[in-house]
Structure formats: structure tokens, C-alpha cells
Amino acid sequence: MIILEAFLFSLVQGLPNSSLYLGARILTGMADLFGGVVLLIIGILIIVLLVAAAIVLLPAILVAVLIWFLTGSFFYAGIAFLAVALISLVAMAD
């Protein structure tokens, strides 16, 4: 009985290295590749959206920085940023 158990245990230990599991390794590799490509596309889209938002809000950022340098007040800079950003968004919507 011990010899049979040892033989069966050696078969079980050798199965992952055999060609029987080649299909599972191929599918796992394809899933990893597909997941990597999907994450790469999502990352590129996020970067593009952030750059586009920065370009759209660039005038508002510049005005807010100018107001902050002139007055030293974050409150006035925030109001200027919101006003110019709102004007930019309304102008882009038309």
C-alpha cells in the first residue's frame, strides 16, 4: 500500500511539469497579456485626460497664480480660478 501511495504521489507531483497542463499555461499567459494590455490602455487614457484637463484649465491656473502673486490671498485666487474656469467651460461648450 505504501508503494502505491508513493507512486501516486510522484504522479501528482509530476503532473504540473507534464504537457497535460500546457493548455492551462497558455491560457494563463494569454490572460496576463490581455490584462496587461487593458491596464496599459487605461493608463494611457488617464494620462491623456489629465493632460487635456490641464490644457483646458491652463488659463484659469495662470490667472489664479497671477492673482495670488498680486494679492497674496488664496481666497481671491480661488474665486479668480473658478470664474475663469467657468468661462472657459462655457466657451468650450458652445
Whether the pLDDT of residue 67 is over 60: the answer is: yes
The per-residue pLDDT for range 5-58, each reduced to its tens digit, is 777 676 666 655 555 555 566 667 777 888 888 999 999 999 999 998 888 889
Q: Which residues contact 63 (CB under 8 A, 6 or more apart)?
A: 80, 81, 84
pTM of the model: 0.53
